[in-house]
Structure 1
Amino acid sequence: MNGSGLITRRGFIRGALLAGLGGKALAQGFAGLSEGADGFAPVVPGRTFAFPADHGPHPEFRIEWWYVTANLADARGVAYGAQWTLFRQAIAGGGPQEGWANQQIWMGHAAVTREDTHRFSQTFARGGVGQAGVEAQPFHAWIDAWEMRALDQVNDDNIASCELKASGTDFSYTLRLDADRPLVLQGDGGYSRKSLREQASYYYSQPHYAATGILTVDDRPIDVTGMAWFDREWSSQPLAPDQSGWDWLSLHFNAGDKLMLYRMRQTDGQHYSSGKWIASDGTAETLGSDDIAMTPLTVTVIEGRKVPTAWRIAVAKMALAIECRPLNPRSWMGTSFPYWEGPIRFAGSHTGMGYLEMTGY
């Protein structure tokens, strides 16, 4: 409630979301990701992706997101990170209903990170009433005034160029995202397995964005440049009941290569891993669990949770052996569905920077 004792519109939407998802969803993150997928479309191998259509929403699936992370620096070399995320969650199956009967809940997260600070904000909206949504062509994803939108002459096959905007009470940013290379289908042609069972998502990325723009922190505007990574993913049940969350990294190598990898944590310790090595010449190679070793090095205690914020990563077949360190180990997203997300740097056999996300801790 606000100071007058009235329930705000945002509070109502947030309460409806939490009530609709239940306690198990809170334990595992947004959308009750391990719940059975009855009433929603299944994720199966062999999908043919079509652009720009697949840049838009897929309401027959339970959950999807449009996700940007950016590693940035100012003219003095001070490092920053920026995050922009739009989630769509269906609280019931079936065809979309009109107005307030619409089954879609939208949630936005935004953050700016520096070595000495981490600022974040969240917002909620109900589908069907124009507060949030995604249009495939021309591409436009928005929740209230936060948006990712195509600029003139956008190339639908690489979703560039785009403008990205978000703001909180003590930060804001406007970034331009340009890319001259195509999208990357993750997993097996965009079919991304999350376990040895049927859990999977449809997943593609644009890891080649060059970012330029302005961050504002405490009313001070800062010109920044850097690299950004865009992920698109949708599913109806991406977690198995015995999986508690995931550890995900996107890495930009100074030599020009890119790497995405994740570890789905299982209660029996037999974690499931997957990844994609994207060479500087545009060729890509899928990595499996046997190829990837992820070892926590340092634990940071945040809100009573033990979060592994530094990692050793090894991929023997690519001669990769690195240690990843966070720009700010307290990059905690204390949102309704809390998780850790922040920029990292790494060194060892390879050097560079990227982003780390960890859920379920």
Structure 2
Amino acid sequence: MNVKALLLALILPLGAQAQGFAGLGTEAQDFAEPVPGHVLQFPADHGPHPDFRIEWWYLTATLTGPDGTPYGLQWTLFRSALAPRDGAGWDTPQLWMGHAAVTTPEAHHAAERLARGGIGQAGVEADPFSAWIDDWAMEGPDLDRLRLTASGTDFAYDVDLRATGPLVLHGQDGYSVKSAAGQASHYYSQPFFDLAGTLSLPEGDIPVTGQAWLDREWSSQPLAQDQQGWDWFSLSFEGGDKMMGFVLRGDADYTSATWITADGQATAFPDGAFAARPLDLTPVAGRQVPTTWQVTLPDRGVDVTVTALNPDAWMSTSVPYWEGPVTITGSHSGTGYLEMTGYDD
């Protein structure tokens, strides 16, 4: 399969001409669907779920160089299925896409890889953990100890990750509802990684340290048909508490949040408890994109302004979106990451 054909195969099963961002509101058809009460099993659920249509291993990190300069790092592996089964060699219906990026205050470097499953070019194994596409890799003896590598034409990174806290299950024990109609995913995170390593940028090699957050999610119809995209926040506050929150934009917005204490205790918040309101729009890649937000979770006294480190952190990938590090001021201070989809028109 040539690159152009593979690109079409990766996009079309997500229904690029169908409902929602990247067609993620398309009906699940014969694919498996998340069910409430399902008990996640580790380390098995660190691996792939080929009977579901879409899945990702999504890592973001906020970093600091030796002179205090802030940076952001992204490493993502997406799995998309043409049919709800696995297979060997070219018979497999499993397709893979990788995104990597480094964001600085002045620049945003990004790259994309496309691969077919079943031939060794890309995949994930749960134990010992290994996720890869071509020569990009996230691997280690388990999910607590990982080495992360990726490169593009003008950047590379090689960093080590060490978990300092527990896994966090979102929603109802990892069953995360996405709409009033009941669309859902299985969703958990490891938000407690310490990171150390090296960024390689046009200006040279830069030693960095920081914190990383890994999201794991799989579903077959994670959006309702009217939902056109989402605004997702992972926020780490001074003092150690953390918060995940998202807004799914549709005829009526749907929200969800998880409050995570410094010792890893998680509290889920239902639709309406969390809010994110754009404060400032920035012209990015020919679009108007909100790059400053007011984010609130009144039950935890959160009322903060979230500001992009670099407003131009646009991912000009096969399915375009905005992804970059942010700073937090207001009732709480800290750093985090923001992802915004559905702003591609």
Length-normalised TM-score, structure 2? 0.96
Partner SS for 1:51: coil
Decide which of 116, 125, 129 is 2:115's aligned counterpart.
125
Q: Which residue of 1 aligns with 2:135?
A: 145
Partner SS for 2:17: helix
Q: Which residue of 2 aligns with 1:228?
A: 212
Decide which of 210, 218, 241 is 2:202's aligned counterpart.
218
Decide which of 330, 335, 340 is 2:317's aligned counterpart.
335
Matching of residue 164 in structure 1 with residue 148 in structure 2? yes
Q: Which residue of 1 aligns with 2:25?
A: 34
Assess, with a 3 A threshold, how the Cα gap between structure 1 residues 63 and 214 changes in structure 2: closer, same or farther.
same
Matched residues in 2 for 1:51 and 1:220: separation?
Answer: 39
Question: Quick one: which amino acid aligns to residue 113 of structure 1?
Answer: T
User: Which 4+ residue blocks in structure 1 deviate beyond 3 angstroms?
Assistant: 18-23
TM-superposed deviation, 1:303: 2.6
Alignment identity in percent?
52
Q: Which residue of 2 aligns with 1:15?
A: 8
Assess, with a 3 A threshold, how the Cα gap between structure 1 residues 16 and 316 changes in structure 2: closer, same or farther.
closer
TM-superposed deviation, 1:323: 0.2
Partner SS for 2:272: helix
Partner SS for 1:59: coil
Q: Which residue of 2 aligns with 1:136?
A: 126
Matched residues in 2 for 1:183 and 1:27: separation?
Answer: 29
Question: Quick one: which amino acid aligns to residue 273 of structure 1?
Answer: T
Q: Which residue of 2 aligns with 1:314?
A: 296
Matching of residue 296 in structure 1 with residue 289 in structure 2? no
Question: Quick one: which amino acid aligns to residue 238 of structure 1?
Answer: P
Matched residues in 2 for 1:147 and 1:246: separation?
Answer: 27
Assess, with a 3 A threshold, how the Cα gap between structure 1 residues 197 and 27 changes in structure 2: closer, same or farther.
closer
The 5 Å alignment of 1:134-283 reads 134-151=124-141, 154=142, 159-218=143-202, 220-266=204-250, 268=251, 270-283=252-265
Matched residues in 2 for 1:110 and 1:225: separation?
Answer: 18
Aligned residues of 2:175 and 2:184 also touching (Cα < 8 A): yes
Partner SS for 1:353: strand
Matching of residue 84 in structure 1 with residue 75 in structure 2? yes
Matched residues in 2 for 1:45 and 1:115: separation?
Answer: 42
Matched residues in 1 for 2:324 and 2:18: separation?
Answer: 23
TM-superposed deviation, 1:272: 0.5
Taking only aligned residues, the RMSD between alpha carbons, in angstroms, comes to 1.4
Matched residues in 2 for 1:105 and 1:34: separation?
Answer: 19
TM-superposed deviation, 1:22: 4.8
TM-superposed deviation, 1:281: 2.7
Matched residues in 2 for 1:196 and 1:115: separation?
Answer: 38
Matched residues in 2 for 1:76 and 1:289: separation?
Answer: 41
Q: Which residue of 2 aligns with 1:344?
A: 326
Aligned residues of 1:171 and 1:219 also touching (Cα < 8 A): no
Aligned residues of 2:19 and 2:228 also touching (Cα < 8 A): no
Aligned length: 343
Matched residues in 2 for 1:182 and 1:19: separation?
Answer: 36
Aligned residues of 2:19 and 2:25 also touching (Cα < 8 A): no
User: Which segment drifts farther, 326-335 or 217-226?
Assistant: 217-226
Decide which of 102, 105, 111 is 2:101's aligned counterpart.
111
Length-normalised TM-score, structure 1? 0.92
Q: Which residue of 2 aligns with 1:323?
A: 305
TM-superposed deviation, 1:233: 0.2
Unaligned runs of 5+ in 1: 1-7
The 5 Å alignment of 1:63-82 reads 63-82=54-73
Aligned residues of 1:341 and 1:358 also touching (Cα < 8 A): yes
Partner SS for 2:52: coil
Aligned residues of 2:314 and 2:322 also touching (Cα < 8 A): yes
Partner SS for 2:86: coil
TM-superposed deviation, 1:59: 0.2
TM-superposed deviation, 1:290: 2.4
Unaligned runs of 5+ in 2: none
